A = this chain, B = another copy of it.
Amino acid sequence: MNGAAPGGPTPEIRIAYPAWVAEVVDWDRRCASDEEKVRLAIRLARENVERGTGGPFGAAVFETATGRLVSVGTNSVVRLHNAVLHGEVVAFMMAQQRLGSFSLAAPGLPQHELVTSCDPCAMCLGATLWSGVKRVVCGAAREDATLLRFDEGPVFPESYAYLRDRGIAFVRGVCRAEAREVLELYRRGSGPIHNP
């Protein structure tokens, strides 16, 4: 550290998928069911652990009506030295960049939804509200994560009610056992827990 401007005169943050996403994700596939969508999020979480690119969390944004995949996200906190980059946040950022809009509910856009391998933490639940998605589908439960010593932050029943009141629907516990397995896989591997 010295007296220079941080990171040089024009610090810039760059966020990209891990290289394996190009191998694993079929961008032309349409997902017909919630189970199929959550299984993609779980696959991303598992690959992230097995390939050593981050924590056991994956997410994706879909068009609700067509099942068309818009973006994916994997926990990238350690890889990119950035505590904000949970899987859901990466998926939102990539979807917004792809559509050139800060809101996935901008006029003219079809309805979008977030699919995630685990109930969102407090930060990601807040990001969900600002993202423009109107539906959220989750795999593992908050309780599964906290039992394995992942902190989910200040999320209360009132937090979900707040988002529901603003037109966001939640479907939770889809393929929960499969989703929990990835959390356990990570725990067995003693990976770094970046939300200690």
**Other-chain contact of A103, B122, B130, B153, B194 (Cβ < 8 Å):** B194
**Alpha-carbon distance between A93 and B15 when the two chains are bound, in angstroms:** 11
**Is A31 part of the binding interface, using a Cβ–Cβ cutoff of 8 Å?**
no
**Is A195 part of the binding interface, using a Cβ–Cβ cutoff of 8 Å?**
yes
Chain B's closest residue to A9 (CB) is B22
Contact A102 B78 (CB under 8 A): yes
**Alpha-carbon distance between A15 and B12 when the two chains are bound, in angstroms:** 6
Known: A6-B71, A122-B125. A92 touches B84 (CB 8 A): yes
Contact A13 B81 (CB under 8 A): no
**Alpha-carbon distance between A102 and B93 when the two chains are bound, in angstroms:** 18
**Is A169 part of the binding interface, using a Cβ–Cβ cutoff of 8 Å?**
no
Count of A residues near B, CB < 8 Å? Answer: 62
Q: Which B residues are CB-close (under 8 A) to A7?
A: 94, 97-98
**Is A107 part of the binding interface, using a Cβ–Cβ cutoff of 8 Å?**
no
Contact A129 B102 (CB under 8 A): no
**Is A3 part of the binding interface, using a Cβ–Cβ cutoff of 8 Å?**
yes
**Alpha-carbon distance between A184 and B178 when the two chains are bound, in angstroms:** 49
Q: Which B residues are CB-close (under 8 A) to A64?
A: none
